[in-house]
Amino acid sequence: MKERAIRVLGDAVINQIAAGEVVDRPASVLKELLENAIDAESAQIDVEVVAAGGKLIRVSDDGTGMSRDNALLSIERHATSKIRDAADIERIATLGFRGEALAAIAAVSRFTLRTRAQDSLSGTEIAVFGGKIQDVRDAGCPPGTTVEVRNLFFNMPARRKFLRSDATELSHLRQTFMMYALAHTGIGFSFAADGRALWQLAGKATLEDRIRDLCRSGADPRLCPVHYRVGNLVVSGHVGLPDRTRPDRAEQFVFINGRPASAPILSAAIRAGYHSTLPRDRHPIVFLFLSLDPAEVDVNVHPTKKEVRFRNPAAVRDALSVAIRRALGGDSGALTPAPPAGTAEPVRAAPRAEAQFIRGFEADQVRAAPVCQAPAAPWPAVKPDAIPVCAAPEPGSAPEKPAPQSPWAWHRVLGQVAGLYVVMEIEDGLVLMDPHAAHERVLYERLLGQVRRGRIESQALLAPEAVELNPTDAERVRQALDLLKSLGFGVAEFGGDTFVVDALPACISGARPRALLVEIAAGLEAAGDRGAAAGAVEERIAQAACKAAVKSGDRLSGEDIESIISQLARTEMPYTCPHGRPIIIHFSFKELDKRFGRTY
């Protein structure tokens, strides 16, 4: 085979290769231009697009602007004002730094740059056509920079064919704009598409203002503030309660030092923070900001800067998951002081969230009403002493007011429907409650609290029960005997694949030992090597609570219902069961009025 000659590529080819790395759609262009405008210390950034960016993308800012010489250098490859040498790459504090974006964009479009420095009397206009400079001249323009990108990919028809429909590309443009507008609330932003203004965002706004203006979840009060610090790592923002989730991550916004960023470890940390409160196929709504030393994060992983890496990923993961757990638990006060170097921040139990789920009324605004009792019947799956029963109010008397941390200030039970769901009136509307899911949550948190305190309450069985398992399950249980004993189980080998159970955790003492061991064995298999980890322990507790909770179809007395409601109101997370299913569905009076056409 004849050897092929090696040639140095021309500038035009090199620029198009670079463009392929940096620019793959109109949203990529907008991302790079927004980053440059933000780095220029702008107070106002205006975006205009036509035909979903295919015909025009214009980004104008009132930042520092550039002189003629700097403007000419800005469209050269690897020309930047943001780093000077290799050492600077280790501590990148700006959004842009590679010096490739403008050259790559200009190589595949009709590109116009107008800029004027703050202390200059006139500006500069540069026109570039497919990577070649066509004109450089003085221009009258306000201080700042305006970049116009027309006919994107006009000289790359193959790339243009890969663009999606205008609706799809516009959705990507809007998502990109949203991310940077959320990350930089001190800057005013505007966005117009095909001459129609979509957003006008004032500067010096709060994060709450931006969320309200930009996101569907902005009007949802189910957002808990996050404030957490450990060492030089600060986590802030808002997270949604587990009863409001999505099938995708479209409303998960994570920013690292003001940069929209992603990394597998961040998704895992968010999931860990919501542990046992989300179904497997649901994703929470989060707006999280991580602030840390630039030397601790590497943003130079990919030309598009979409993914980051951390010098200490375990510390970032743990801090993020703890911050979320504390926010959901209601610990949303001022930033906690950083612990001394080399020491861990003390762990403490956080109080349950101040319920934004329902806004309470003053006591004198609520009309006292009797509690309707369902037909009395015992709980077949729970012993009477397993959960203390709160006495129901006498007919005609005022219902019991829950503790201050309750998700409702007042309630009145109306009854049960379909042999399962409890219908309840509260001060803000109507609530449907699944007593099975509620009972799961009560048992789960009670047993989990005992595990974390190291004080498991066991209940001896009246007669020990011999449980024979299949060989696979028996081996799993055999290897987890210490784990089971730490959970309050009295389990011992009896020979072969048989075990003797003489005690169960007090909270689930009414469960059947064999069904419980089989369930736990299956869970241990799914946990794999994590069988001794805290996460696996919590999963086992959730399964045990599920087996012991009241079942669908159980007829509950008024006392039973009031007992579940009273104890649910005092849990840390009264909105979902340990598996992530909703416990409560709330219909506000405003929503009911709207559905019945009673608008005022």
The pLDDT value given to residue 124: 95
Q: For 296-320, what is each residue's pLDDT tens digit?
A: 887 766 555 567 788 888 889 889 9
- Whether pTM > 0.95 for this model: the answer is no
- Is 341 inside a domain boundary? no
| H or E element, residue 13 | helix 11-22
Per-residue pLDDT of the chain (600 residues; tens, 9 = 90+): 666 666 665 666 655 555 546 688 999 999 999 999 999 999 999 999 999 999 999 999 999 999 998 899 888 876 666 545 555 555 565 675 556 788 889 989 999 999 999 889 899 999 999 889 999 999 989 999 999 999 999 988 878 888 888 988 998 999 899 999 999 999 999 999 999 999 999 999 999 889 988 886 555 556 889 999 998 899 999 998 887 777 778 788 999 888 888 778 888 889 888 876 777 677 888 999 999 988 888 776 655 556 778 888 888 988 998 999 888 875 443 333 333 333 334 333 333 333 333 222 222 333 333 333 333 333 333 333 333 333 333 434 444 444 445 778 888 888 888 878 889 998 888 999 988 888 888 888 887 777 777 777 788 888 888 988 777 778 878 887 887 887 778 899 888 888 999 888 776 666 778 777 776 776 665 554 444 444 555 566 666 666 666 665 566 778 888 888 888 888 888 888 877 788 888 888 888 888 888 866
- Is 467 inside a domain boundary? yes
- Is 1 inside a domain boundary? no
- Is 303 inside a domain boundary? yes
Residues 196 and 224 in one domain: no
| H or E element, residue 127 | strand 123-129
- Is 583 inside a domain boundary? yes
* Residue 312 CB coordination number (10 Å): 14
| DSSP-derived secondary structure for 423-479 | EEEETTEEEEE-HHHHHHHHHHHHHHHHHHHT-PPEEEEEEEEEEE--HHHHHHHHH
The pLDDT value given to residue 548: 63
Residues 308 and 388 in one domain: no
Q: What is the dihedral of CA 308, 312, 317, 322, to 10 degrees?
A: -130
Final residue belonging to a domain, choices 278, 307, 328: 328
CA 442 to chain centre: 25
CATH code, domain with 76: 3.30.565.10
Residues 190 and 255 in one domain: no
Report d(CA 292, CA 21) in Å as an integer: 28
Residues 448 and 492 in one domain: yes
Q: Do 414 and 577 touch, CB atoms closer than 8 A?
A: no
The pLDDT value given to residue 352: 37
Residues in the chain: 600
Residues 402 and 535 in one domain: yes
Final residue belonging to a domain, choices 328, 352, 379: 328
Report d(CA 53, CA 194) in Å as an integer: 9
Backbone phi and psi for residue 124, each to the nearest 5 degrees, phi listed first? -130, 140
CA 388 to chain centre: 36
* Residue 461 CB coordination number (10 Å): 14
| DSSP-derived secondary structure for 542-556 | HHHHHHHS--TT---
Residues 186 and 235 in one domain: no
- Is 302 inside a domain boundary? yes
Residues 199 and 221 in one domain: no
Q: In what order do the strands lie in the sheet with 252-256?
A: 223-230, 233-240, 286-291, 252-256, 259-260
- Is 196 inside a domain boundary? yes
The pLDDT value given to residue 415: 85
Give how many domains the chain has, as a whole number: 3
The pLDDT value given to residue 471: 78
SS3 percent helix, strand, coil of the chain, rounded to 5, is 35, 25, 40
Q: For 91-141, what is each residue's pLDDT tens digit?
A: 565 675 556 788 889 989 999 999 999 889 899 999 999 889 999 999 989
CATH code, domain with 254: 3.30.230.10
- Is 47 inside a domain boundary? yes
Final residue belonging to a domain, choices 303, 328, 353: 328
Structural domain boundaries enclosing 311: 215-328
Residues 491 and 591 in one domain: yes
Report d(CA 422, CA 565) in Å as an integer: 10
